[in-house]
C-alpha cells in the first residue's frame, strides 16, 4: 500500500471548482450556476473507484463497500493536527444522514427532505441545488432522511421520500427524469442511495413499518425505464411463498432501504432486506418469512435471485438485515474464499461465501439473549422465553440492534472488520393490529427499561476469519455513526453527543477527536482536492470538512 499517496499526487492536481468563488449566496434557490466541468463518471471509473481515492464515487466508496480509502496523507502520526477547513449548513433542518459523493473537486450532498446540493469540495461553496417537490401526505417511519446519491456519466440518481427516483444533471442540477417507484400513499418511501451497476441504477425501497411488499429494482439510466424488479417476498407459486401463513406475504415488509454491494467478477449484487411485517406480532405470519432479514445474492443483469441467507427467520424483534455487505477475499482454513462480512442487527457477526451464500463463520459481537447460538448452517437456535408478550419481555439486543444501518468498514491492511456495536436491551411488546393501507402496521413495540448510560457502546474490531474481538473503543453514551478506514491506518467515526474522532486501526487507541456539536448520524468520507486529503462528516445539520494545515 505504500506509494499510494504518489497516485494521489499524480491524479489530483486539478480541482475544477477550486479558486472560483461562486457568486451565489450560501443558499441559492434551485439552479444557479453550472459546475465548470465534470469528467463523466463512466462504469469503468466506478468499477475501479479504489484507484482514484481523491474521489468518493458511491455511497460506500467502492463496489465492495469496504469504506476503505487508499489515501494516507492523514495518518496516525499527524491526524491530531486535523483542523476545520469548511462547514456547509444544510438549510432544511433535520437529522442529516447524508453520505456525500465527491467527483473531481465537486461534492454532492443530499439534504432533508429530498434535495441535493452541489458544492465546491475544496471550499463548501454551493453551485446549485435541486429541490424535489413532495406531497404532504408522506408515510415515513423515521424522519425526513436521505442518505445520498449515485452517479453515472454526468447524471445523479436520488431516492425521494415520496418513493420516486429522480435523475438530475450533475452539472446544472436540472431534472432529467422523475419516476414513481411505488405508491407513497400505501406506505412506500425511499431514503437510500442507489447503486450503479454497469448500465443499471439499482435501488431499494423503505416502508417496513407500513405492511408493504418489499422489492429491489433496477432502472435504465437514460430513461428511467424499469429493467427488472425482484420482490423480496415471493408470490404464490414461487419458492418461499409457503414460509408466510395465509395471505400474510402481501403485507410482509422485507424492505431494502440500505445500499448494497456488487462483485463484477461474479456479476452478483448483494443487498440486505429488512424486517417482516408486522414487526413484532409474528403470530399473523407464521413461518420463516422468506426473504425478510436476509442477505440476497442477485444476478445483476436479470434481477434473478442467485442465493439467499436468512439471518433471522421469523423475526419478531424488528432486526432488519439492513447492513451494508462488505466484500473481500480471505484465506479461510487454508482455502481462498470470496467472502461477505456482515455484523447483523441481531448481534451476530457472519462471514459468508459470496458465491453461494454458504455460512462460514458466525459469532455474537454484541450482547444478545435471544439465541443459544447458531447451528452449522448459521441458523439461530432460539432461546426459550424470548418472544415479545402483551406484558412485555426484556431481550437483547434492543430494536436498534447490536448495530443498525450504520456503515461498517474493513481495512485490507489490518484485515479487520470495524463495526459500531451496542450491548443494550429493551422490553418488547406484542399487540393485535389490523392492516390498513398507508397506516403503520407493527403489531407491538418496545420501551427502554434503563437509561442508555447503563449500557455499553463501542467501536469493535473483529477478525473476519473467526469473529473474534481484536479491540474495542468504548463510546459514552453511544454512537449511530458509520465508519471509515484509511491507508493512514485510521478508523473515523462519531457519537450521538456530537464528537467526531479517529482511532488507530490496529489498536483502537484514540488519536484525535473534535466536538462537532450535534449527533453524528451519517458516515465519514475522505477525498482530496489539489493533492490535499480531506475528511468530511455530517453532524446535526452541518457538513464539516477537516484537513491538515
Partner 1 sequence: MGVASFVPVVLVSGFFWIPPPAEAQENPFDTEVDARIGGRVFLAECGRCHGNDAKGNDETDAPDLTRGRFRNASTDAGLFQVIRDGVPGTTMIGIGWAPDPTIWQIVAYVNSLRIDPADYDLPGSVDQGRRIFNGKGNCASCHVVHGIGGRLGPDLSTVANRRKPEELKTDLTDPDETVEPRWWTLKVTRADGSVAEGLRMNEDTFTLRIMDGDESLRHFSKKDLRSIERIETSTMPSVSGTLTASEVDDLVAYLFSLRKESGT
Measured from the CB atom, the residue of 495 and 526 that comes closer to partner 1 is 495
Shortest Cβ 473–partner 1 spacing (Å): 8
Q: Where are the alpha helices (DSSP H) in 194-330?
A: none
Q: Per CB under 8 A, does 495 bind partner 1?
A: yes
Which range touches partner 1 (CB under 8 A), out of 48-56, 87-95, 215-223, 282-290? 87-95
* Interface with partner 1 (CB under 8 A), residue from 125, 144, 190, 213: 144
Grid cell digits, residue 97: 444522514
Q: Cβ contacts of residue 381 below 8 Å, gap of 6+?
A: 371, 372, 373, 374, 375
C-alpha 46/C-alpha 513 separation (Å) is 32
Measured from the CB atom, the residue of 229 and 454 that comes closer to partner 1 is 454
C-alpha 459/C-alpha 540 separation (Å) is 20
The residue written with cell numbers 419458492 in the block is 239
The residue written with cell numbers 455513526 in the block is 481
Which range touches partner 1 (CB under 8 A), out of 227-235, 283-291, 325-333, 441-449? 441-449
Q: Per CB under 8 A, does 19 bind partner 1?
A: no
Measured from the CB atom, the residue of 279 and 288 that comes closer to partner 1 is 279
Measured from the CB atom, the residue of 44 and 453 that comes closer to partner 1 is 453
H/E segment holding residue 513? strand 510-515
Which of 72, 293, 315, 318 is flagged as catalytic? Answer: 318
C-alpha 107/C-alpha 52 separation (Å) is 15
Shortest Cβ 45–partner 1 spacing (Å): 36
Q: Per CB under 8 A, does 452 bind partner 1?
A: yes
Q: Per CB under 8 A, does 451 bind partner 1?
A: yes
Grid cell digits, residue 380: 439461530
Q: Per CB under 8 A, does 454 bind partner 1?
A: yes
* Interface with partner 1 (CB under 8 A), residue from 219, 257, 262, 499: 499
Which range touches partner 1 (CB under 8 A), out of 71-79, 132-140, 218-226, 336-344? 132-140
Q: Per CB under 8 A, does 448 bind partner 1?
A: yes
Please choose, from the candidates 105, 195, 99, 108, the residue with its C-alpha nearest in 3D space to the C-alpha of residue 536. Answer: 99
Shortest Cβ 480–partner 1 spacing (Å): 7
Which range touches partner 1 (CB under 8 A), out of 138-146, 197-205, 228-236, 522-530? 138-146
SS3 per-residue string spanning 398-420? CCCCCCCCCCCEEECCCCEEEEE
Please choose, from the candidates 176, 152, 151, the residue with its C-alpha nearest in 3D space to the C-alpha of residue 164. Answer: 176
Measured from the CB atom, the residue of 267 and 393 that comes closer to partner 1 is 393
Please choose, from the candidates 102, 95, 92, 103, the residue with its C-alpha nearest in 3D space to the C-alpha of residue 130. Answer: 92
* Interface with partner 1 (CB under 8 A), residue from 31, 75, 456, 513: 513
* Interface with partner 1 (CB under 8 A), residue from 496, 502, 528, 529: 496
Q: Per CB under 8 A, does 442 bind partner 1?
A: yes
Tell me the C-alpha to C-alpha distance, in Å, between residue 444 and each of 50, 187, 486, 504, 507: 44, 18, 42, 42, 41
Measured from the CB atom, the residue of 128 and 473 that comes closer to partner 1 is 473
> x/- binding map, residues 204-243, to partner 1, per CB under 8 A?
-----x----------------------------------
Is the bond into 477 cis (omega within 30 degrees of 0)?
Answer: yes
Q: Per CB under 8 A, does 440 bind partner 1?
A: yes
Shortest Cβ 381–partner 1 spacing (Å): 28
Tell me the C-alpha to C-alpha distance, in Å, between residue 250 and each of 109, 235, 276: 36, 8, 11
Known catalytic residue at 318: yes
Q: Per CB under 8 A, does 433 bind partner 1?
A: yes
Q: Per CB under 8 A, does 29 bind partner 1?
A: no
Please choose, from the candidates 143, 31, 166, the residue with its C-alpha nearest in 3D space to the C-alpha of residue 96. Answer: 143
C-alpha 277/C-alpha 519 separation (Å) is 29
* Interface with partner 1 (CB under 8 A), residue from 71, 74, 296, 475: 475
Which range touches partner 1 (CB under 8 A), out of 121-129, 174-182, 232-240, 425-433? 425-433
How, if at all, do strands 200-203 and 195-197 pair? antiparallel
C-alpha 250/C-alpha 246 separation (Å) is 9
Measured from the CB atom, the residue of 275 and 344 that comes closer to partner 1 is 275
Which range touches partner 1 (CB under 8 A), out of 10-18, 307-315, 368-376, 471-479? 471-479
**Positions in 166-185 near partner 1 (CB under 8 A):** 185
Shortest Cβ 284–partner 1 spacing (Å): 14
Q: Per CB under 8 A, does 447 bind partner 1?
A: yes
- On whether the CB atoms of residues 105 and 121 are closer than 8 A, the answer is yes
* Interface with partner 1 (CB under 8 A), residue from 136, 335, 376, 391: 136
Shortest Cβ 397–partner 1 spacing (Å): 12
Q: Per CB under 8 A, does 441 bind partner 1?
A: yes
C-alpha 212/C-alpha 210 separation (Å) is 6
Q: How many residues bind partner 1 (CB under 8 A)?
A: 47
C-alpha 109/C-alpha 539 separation (Å) is 13
C-alpha 96/C-alpha 153 separation (Å) is 26
Tell me the C-alpha to C-alpha distance, in Å, between residue 288 and each of 128, 294, 374, 435, 492: 47, 11, 16, 20, 37
Q: Per CB under 8 A, does 438 bind partner 1?
A: yes
**Positions in 395-424 near partner 1 (CB under 8 A):** 400
H/E segment holding residue 130? strand 126-131
C-alpha 401/C-alpha 408 separation (Å) is 14
Shortest Cβ 259–partner 1 spacing (Å): 21
Q: Cβ contacts of residue 307 below 8 Å, gap of 6+?
A: 296, 297, 356, 357
C-alpha 68/C-alpha 523 separation (Å) is 12
Active site residues: 318
Binding positions for partner 1, rule: CB under 8 A: 93-95, 136-144, 185, 209, 392, 400, 427, 429, 431, 433, 438-442, 445-448, 451-454, 474-478, 480, 495-497, 499, 501, 510, 513, 519
Amino acid at each position: 500500500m505504500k506509494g499510494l499517496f504518489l497516485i494521489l499526487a499524480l491524479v489530483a492536481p486539478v480541482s475544477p471548482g477550486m479558486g472560483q468563488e461562486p457568486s451565489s449566496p450560501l443558499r441559492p434557490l434551485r439552479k444557479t450556476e453550472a459546475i465548470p466541468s465534470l469528467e463523466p463518471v463512466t462504469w469503468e471509473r466506478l468499477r475501479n473507484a479504489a484507484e482514484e481515492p481523491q474521489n468518493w464515487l458511491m455511497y460506500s466508496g467502492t463496489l465492495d463497500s469496504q469504506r476503505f480509502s487508499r489515501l494516507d496523507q492523514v495518518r496516525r502520526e499527524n491526524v491530531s493536527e486535523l483542523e476545520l477547513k469548511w462547514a456547509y449548513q444544510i438549510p432544511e433542518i433535520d437529522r442529516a444522514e447524508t453520505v456525500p459523493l465527491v467527483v473531481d473537486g465537486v461534492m454532492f450532498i443530499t439534504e432533508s427532505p429530498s434535495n441535493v446540493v452541489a458544492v465546491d469540495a475544496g471550499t463548501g461553496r454551493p453551485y446549485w441545488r435541486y429541490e424535489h417537490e413532495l406531497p404532504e401526505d408522506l408515510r415515513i417511519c423515521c424522519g425526513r432522511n436521505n442518505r445520498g446519491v449515485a452517479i453515472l456519466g454526468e447524471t445523479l440518481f436520488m431516492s425521494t421520500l415520496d418513493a420516486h427516483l429522480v435523475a438530475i444533471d450533475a452539472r446544472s442540477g436540472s431534472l432529467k427524469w422523475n419516476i414513481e417507484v411505488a405508491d407513497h400513499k400505501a406506505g412506500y418511501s425511499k431514503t437510500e442511495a442507489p447503486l450503479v451497476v454497469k448500465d443499471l441504477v439499482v435501488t431499494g425501497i423503505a416502508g417496513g413499518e407500513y405492511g408493504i411488499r418489499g422489492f429491489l429494482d433496477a432502472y435504465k439510466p437514460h430513461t428511467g425505464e424499469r429493467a427488472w424488479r425482484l420482490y423480496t417476498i415471493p408470490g404464490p407459486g414461487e419458492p418461499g411463498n409457503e414460509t408466510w401463513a395465509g395471505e400474510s406475504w402481501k403485507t410482509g415488509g422485507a424492505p431494502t432501504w440500505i445500499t448494497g454491494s456488487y462483485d463484477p467478477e461474479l456479476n452478483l449484487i448483494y443487498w440486505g432486506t429488512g424486517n417482516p411485517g408486522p414487526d413484532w406480532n409474528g403470530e399473523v405470519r407464521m413461518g420463516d418469512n422468506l426473504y425478510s432479514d436476509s442477505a440476497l445474492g442477485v444476478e445483476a443483469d436479470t434481477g434473478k435471485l442467485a442465493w439467499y441467507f436468512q439471518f433471522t427467520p421469523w423475526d419478531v424483534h424488528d432486526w432488519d438485515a439492513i447492513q451494508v455487505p462488505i466484500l473481500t477475499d480471505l484465506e479461510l482454513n487454508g482455502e481462498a474464499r470470496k467472502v461477505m462480512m456482515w455484523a447483523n442487527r441481531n448481534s451476530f457477526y457472519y462471514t459468508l461465501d459470496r458465491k453461494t451464500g454458504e455460512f462460514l463463520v458466525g459469532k455474537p459481537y454484541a450482547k444478545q439473549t435471544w439465541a443459544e447460538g447458531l447451528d452449522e448452517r448459521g441458523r439461530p437456535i432460539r432461546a426459550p422465553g424470548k418472544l415479545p408478550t402483551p406484558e412485555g419481555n426484556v431481550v437483547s439486543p434492543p430494536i436498534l440492534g447490536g448495530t443498525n444501518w450504520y456503515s461498517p468498514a474493513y481495512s485490507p491492511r489490518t484485515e479487520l472488520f470495524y463495526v459500531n456495536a451496542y450491548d443494550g436491551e429493551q422490553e418488547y411488546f406484542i399487540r393485535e393490529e389490523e392492516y390498513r393501507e398507508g397506516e403503520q402496521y407493527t403489531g407491538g413495540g418496545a420501551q427502554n427499561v434503563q437509561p442508555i448510560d447503563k449500557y455499553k457502546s463501542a467501536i469493535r474490531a473483529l477478525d473476519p476469519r473467526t469473529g473474534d474481538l481484536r479491540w474495542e473503543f468504548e463510546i459514552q453514551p453511544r454512537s449511530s455513526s458509520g465508519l471509515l478506514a484509511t491507508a493512514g491506518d485510521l478508523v473515523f467515526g462519531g457519537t450521538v453527543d456530537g464528537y467526531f474522532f479517529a482511532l488507530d486501526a490496529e489498536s483502537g487507541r484514540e488519536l484525535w477527536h473534535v466536538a462537532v456539536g450535534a449527533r453524528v448520524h451519517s458516515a465519514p468520507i475522505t477525498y482530496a482536492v489539489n493533492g490535499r486529503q480531506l475528511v468530511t462528516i455530517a453532524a446535526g445539520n452541518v457538513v464539516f470538512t477537516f484537513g491538515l494545515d
